[in-house]
Amino acid sequence: MSDSVDFICIETGLISILFSKSMLKIGILFENKSDIMSNPSASVETHYHWRETEEVEAVATNLKALGHDVDLIGTLDNLLERWKDNQLPEFIWNLSVRTTSRNRTALAPAILEQLGIPYTGGDATIKSLTLNKDFLKPVLQWRGISTPDWYRYGIGEKLDIPPWEKSILKPACEGYSLGLQFWETSSGLAELQNLVEQLQQQFQAAVLCEEFIQGREITVGVVGNDKPVFIGAVETLTAEGKPLEKQVLDLQAKRRGGFQKINLDLYIPQLRKLREISLDLMQLFKPLDYATFDFRVSADNQAYLLDINADATLHPQRSFAQIARNNGLSYQQLIEVILETANNKVKG
């Protein structure tokens, strides 16, 4: 058995060498594009939740480089086949998010808990809460955290026009901007009804109508449960290097790309609140192990939390990996600190 090294604590500014006493047999749970799109009713607009090949390969490659034995299990069905064959791994790296269900992100941790297998990421309760924005937003308000004002439109319910001028419409239990649409109050009730009914039919879910916040779009990334291993942030800018302001990051915009991301210092006065909110929620919802938090910051420097990504992508070219690099962690070190954090919650 070999030892793993180079566990870097960026938050405290110290470099700590931690040793894992044994290497693990780690299974990776995930759905790829063919798993998702093989469903005859699937479409990119409603099912764009698969893990990209580059993300899965990067996680697997770096776990192997750390000395672990890696099994690319794939779907939950494959995991249950291994259970029947008595071939379960010691530990699961959970990248499973599934599709079109308000319970979709909770299924893997619930099954793993029943099987007694430790895993990365949040448990079933927190995965469900962070996915279902209509349940999450009241918790944020109770915690004193600003989030855009909203109406919830349940299927078959009467619609009221919101008092604000510009809105974001989105399914209450989706991610990656699936179904997200911009709507102006001046367009009238008939158009609102039409858009809401379309979304409800597409996703078979309630729809949120949120006040649109014009301003900067900032993503904060955190690793750590009892205390942060590291925390950092990036701001998404237009191709011209300007804040998003009126631009909306819907699915089409994200797939089209062309945005810039710049590193931010969360210790400057106008951004400290984002750091405080993110760390507070990591404590409230622990053990999450790692997560990203999406904010809009208005012109008067008011921070509004838009989303908590408890299933943040670990693609080496996406925001979370960039935040890690900006804070002195290589991609392999990022994978190591997440694994160490998840292991520590098991030991604790």
CATH code: domain of residue 268: 3.30.470.20
Evaluate whether residue 225 is within a structural domain.
yes
When pLDDT is cut at 50, 70 and 90, the band that residue 4 belongs to is very low
Evaluate whether residue 15 is within a structural domain.
no
Closest CA to 56 of 20, 89, 96: 96
Q: Are residues 162 and 206 in the same domain?
A: yes
Residue-level pLDDT at 46: 62
pLDDT at position 344 over 70: yes
Give the CATH number of the domain where residue 58 resides.
Answer: 3.40.50.20
pLDDT at position 184 over 80: yes
pLDDT digits (tens, 9 = 90+) for 244-266: 999 888 777 777 778 999 999 99
- Ranking 12-16, 317-321, 325-329 by mean pLDDT, the lowest is 12-16
Report which secondary-structure segment, H or E, holds 2: none
Q: Are residues 260 and 200 in the same domain?
A: no
Q: What is the mean pLDDT of residues 281-299?
A: 96
Q: What is the mean pLDDT of residues 147-152?
A: 98
Closest CA to 99 of 204, 181, 251: 204
Evaluate whether residue 8 is within a structural domain.
no
Radius of gyration of the chain (CA): 20
Q: How many CB atoms lie within 10 A of CB 129?
A: 18
pLDDT digits (tens, 9 = 90+) for 212-226: 999 999 999 999 998
Place of tokens 């622990």: 286
* Separation between Cα atoms, residue 176 and residue 97, nearest integer Å: 12
Q: Which domain holds residue 282?
A: 133-144+214-344
**181-184, strands of its sheet edge to edge:** 150-153, 207-211, 166-171, 181-184
Percent pLDDT > 70 in the chain is 91
Residue-level pLDDT at 17: 36
Q: Are residues 336 and 222 in the same domain?
A: yes
Assigned token pair, 291: 């997560």
Residue-level pLDDT at 62: 97
Residue-level pLDDT at 347: 67
Evaluate whether residue 19 is within a structural domain.
no
Confidence (pTM): 0.91
Q: Is 254:177 a contact under the CB 8 Å cutoff?
A: yes
Evaluate whether residue 202 is within a structural domain.
yes
Evaluate whether residue 107 is within a structural domain.
yes
When pLDDT is cut at 50, 70 and 90, the band that residue 20 belongs to is very low
Q: What is the mean pLDDT of residues 70-93?
A: 96
Please state, rounded to an integer, the average pLDDT across all residues of the chain.
89
Q: Are residues 84 and 49 in the same domain?
A: yes
Q: Are residues 172 and 314 in the same domain?
A: no
Q: Are residues 140 and 286 in the same domain?
A: yes
Assigned token pair, 119: 């895993």
Residue-level pLDDT at 40: 78
* Separation between Cα atoms, residue 282 and residue 280, nearest integer Å: 6
Closest CA to 247 of 166, 185, 317: 166
Q: Are residues 258 and 230 in the same domain?
A: yes
pLDDT at position 135 over 90: yes
